[in-house]
Structure 1
Amino acid sequence: MSYSIKARVYQTNTNAYFNIVEKGIWQTGAWSDQNGVQTLTMASSGGSGMLRFTTEQGKEAFFIALGVHNYKPWVDVVTGLVHNVTCVKSLPEYYDSKYPVRCAARDAQRTSQSVHSVDHRTISVEYKVAEGHNLELNVVVG
């Protein structure tokens, strides 16, 4: 059975603007963008995606990994990325035992998380709809 996750991004601080610069997919799925709402569609449980953000100047970066594992949603936020950390490189780490921290984040099946960056910015994510096959995630960049 397929799953979708609608991700709405809210930016509350006017001292930096973040753009989505890369989207990644694990297994079969697709990203779509409708009026600024990013939707990840996956063929089944076990799929995931990633959104990588940077400031307009490219000085700050973070990513959000999201998906469904064992029929439950999960999310992970990682800040302080260097330029060579991409979705293509990072998303497979959530499925490789050589990266136990990433696998543990997926297995934890968190439905919310709040992370402070080294630049004292707060990145918060929370599933607004965390049950069923049509999930919704709010992303707040503060």
Structure 2
Amino acid sequence: MQNSPANPPSPGWRVSAADVVDVFVYVVVLNLAAEYLPMVLTETFTLSLLTAVLLKVVLEVVVFFKNRVKARFRAATTTVGKVGAALALWAILVGSKFVVLELVALLFADKVRLGGFFAVTGLILILLVSRAGVRRLLAQPDPAR
């Protein structure tokens, strides 16, 4: 069935244009890293595209949990609550790098390598900065200005 005013699309998870642009940015950054950093390896473009999708999914999950923990941190009224939330945030930020490394190793074996913990941390930071830069570049201008 096609979507129409009489038959609206079903609610659920959708891929937005921003998500597609993010994956394309990740592919570019990942392939540049593979070209210039010997510790980063993707054997084919298809694998780099699949790795970019994996990174997008993992980073979205990490951001979701990070935001929930940040809200708990802000809502905490005791020192123990604030310290607990801060430790949970640290565990999410550090643990996510190991999750990325393990998922890449599990799904792609030796065909994709992102280096070690510090290389993945740097790669993820560059991915996030690049994504923010492209989103800012493509943002609609404010008509009030």
Scaled by the length of structure 1, the TM-score of the pair is 0.26
Scaled by the length of structure 2, the TM-score of the pair is 0.25
- Larger radius of gyration between Structure 1 and Structure 2: 2
